[in-house]
Amino acid sequence: AVDIGKLRAETGYITYDDGFGNTGSCTSAITFIDGEQGILRYRGYPIEQLAEKSDFVETAYLVMNGELPDKAQRAKFSGLLGENAPLREGMRRFIQTFPRDSHPMAMLSASLNALGAYYPHLASNNHQRDLEHFDEAAAIAISKVRTITADIFRVSQGKPFNHPKPDLLYCENFLHLMFSDPYKDYSPTPEVAQALNLFLLLHADHEQNCSTSTVKMVASAGANLFASVSAGVNALWGPLHGGANMAVLEMLKNIHADGDDGTRFIAAAKSGKGDRLMGFGHRVYKNYDPRAKIIKASFHKALASLGIKDDPLLNIAMNLEKVALSDDYFIQRKLYPNVDFYSGLIMRAIGIPENLFTVMFAIGRMPGWIAQWREVAQNPKLKIYRPRQVYTGKTKRDYPANR
Ligand code: ACO
């Protein structure tokens, strides 16, 4: 076998793969994607079956642990999530100290990182020691990301925090934390809770995407779970990644305000002079993103149950899709709707404000980041991630003598 290290040292040879489009950074047993066929499976289970039969909490357990939980395992996991839902008072004060107009992703990343300070026994930066407390750390991250998100929202609205209710399920509890008021409890219809469950489940993992690779990069240096997922949040914030769900809604609103039905927008996107069609295209899927298909299929039912009959933004989205899918520019480049194309409209219908859309993606992705962090931490042959480069700067030159 070729000794790559030796070859590199002798020849200076490195592979150059712009944007890592063709580089496998690790082996992984969590998520399978076939981008050409539009297939996505978590731990071998097709996403379509999980979307139909599972819920977010069960899927989170599956993604992190490799198997569906039996009754006792599910009860234990739900118990841990319930126990860990409240935030320490100091964390709540921390969230209150941000400027009122702070971006929720900045607040989320900082808050997740701060969790490590509150639980030093889970964040020792020694993988072996941190793994001994894996179940507790995972439950804290999954449960508290929900409370942190709701607290960020409440602060931005100038409203008091709500306290998690131990008897509520994960999604119902989140919606209570978000929308209950001191004298009026919010209880969602089953359809709203189900739409949220589906949204989170569909985002639970997506193999080595930008934010997950970031989590793993940080983990590869030996960093703890909270530091690693906090870094993942920052990667997710970018508009080419998780920020796209927010960008889609902005795009739809602008098209609506321009009195366009999407046709003019598409012409501008194709010419390269306008903006990209947000929510379209994917590095891996060269086919319809299966998650977008599932959201689209359940969309009309969910909207009807939320009392939304004729949404002009939905009409524009459907027209954009229709025009793009029959246009040579998009066909030749294999650009199809991705999960973000319709997910923003679901969030909006549930009542989530736009600046929280990407935070919602982070709640959904948390189990995936945790599972991927665990794979890194458990790797007995772990090597720090350290890519090389092709240097294009100046060749050697001397510092000016009379400076
Ligand atoms: N609208 C118009 N043209 C596009 C789009 C788009 N949404 N996406 C790609 N293209 C074009 C590019 O201009 C390029 O054309 P060219 O070959 O003539 O130069 C070609 O398609 C290939 O595009 P790349 O940017 O090279 O593809 P890449 O795999 O690097 O990018 C990405 C994938 C970032 C998702 C891209 O398709 C994009 O910007 N989409 C819009 C943003 C978006 O929806 N992001 C969410 C991704 S899914 C997620 O994070 C959950």
Structure-token match 């990209």, residue found: 276
* Ligand 1 touching residue 88 (CB < 6 A): no
Active site residue 340: yes
* Ligand 1 touching residue 241 (CB < 6 A): yes
Per-residue pLDDT tens digits for 29-85: 999 999 999 999 999 999 999 999 999 999 999 999 999 999 999 999 999 999 999
d(CA 120, CA 74): 26
What pTM was computed for the model? 0.92
Strand 39-42 relative to strand 45-46: parallel, antiparallel, unpaired?
antiparallel
Is the Cα torsion angle 219, 223, 229, 233 positive or negative in sign? Answer: negative
Cβ neighbour number for residue 129 with a 10 Å cutoff: 13
Ligand 1 centroid distance, CA of 199 (Å):
22
- For 261, residues 6+ apart whose C-beta sits below 8 A from its C-beta are 255, 315, 316, 319
d(CA 3, CA 9): 10
Per-residue pLDDT tens digits for 200-224: 999 999 999 999 999 999 999 999 9
By the 8 A CB rule, do 64 and 374 touch?
A: yes
Supply the pLDDT for residue 71: 98
3-state SS, residue 33: strand
* Ligand 1 touching residue 204 (CB < 6 A): no
- The tokens for 391 are 């240097």
Supply the pLDDT for residue 310: 80
Mean pLDDT for the stretch of residues 6-16: 77
Q: How many residues does the chain have?
A: 403
Supply the pLDDT for residue 354: 92
The dihedral formed by the CA atoms of 40, 381, 127 and 368, expressed in degrees to the nearest 10: 0
Per-residue pLDDT tens digits for 100-136: 899 999 999 999 999 999 999 999 999 999 999 999 9
pLDDT band at 6 (very low <50, low <70, confident <90, very high): confident
Residue with more model confidence, 207 or 296: 207
Kindly tell me if the per-residue pLDDT of 13 is higher than 90: no
Mean pLDDT for the stretch of residues 7-11: 73
Supply the pLDDT for residue 9: 72
